[in-house]
Amino acid sequence: MDKPITVLYVEDDEDIRDVAELALEGDDFVILSCECGEMALEKAALSNPDLLLLDVMMPDMDGPTTLKHLREMPHLESTPAIFMTAKVQPAEVKSYHDCGAIGVISKPFDPMLLADEIIKIMGRHSA
């Protein structure tokens, strides 16, 4: 990987956010953390992330709604998005793909494998 992947990461649970940040920190990722969809929209307007990593279940604005609003920003209309959720029944996963996600990472996730899983999903998407 030649340059780090900038990830706009939206997760309302502080503990999960902290674990994911620790799992991804290093040379391969730059993490722009947000605790809600509203904050994600503010940060996204001022940045140009390579990946949108979104929790599905959040108060106020859920992940799919957040993604819909992020897609309204011209610089993010084709940015890859991955959802992280415990809701991974086939119909649910299909609905995430239908709203534009390139992949779904199930919770609880293995922090040791999170970076590899993201890179693998992004590799499949760009292939």
- With CA atoms as reference, report the closest residue to 37 among 61, 73, 12: 61
Burial 73-82 (b: 16+ CB within 10 A, else e): eeebeebbbb
Residue 114 in this model has a pLDDT that exceeds 90 = yes
pLDDT of residue 12: 97
- What average pLDDT is seen over the chain? 95
* Fold topology of 5-119: Rossmann fold (3.40.50)
pLDDT of residue 26: 81
Residue 1 in this model has a pLDDT that exceeds 70 = no
pLDDT of residue 52: 98
Cα atoms found within 13 Å of the Cα of residue 94, Cβ hemisphere only: 3
Q: What is the pTM of this model?
A: 0.95
Three-state DSSP class for 7?
strand
CB atoms within 10 A of CB 99: 14
Residue 85 in this model has a pLDDT that exceeds 90 = yes
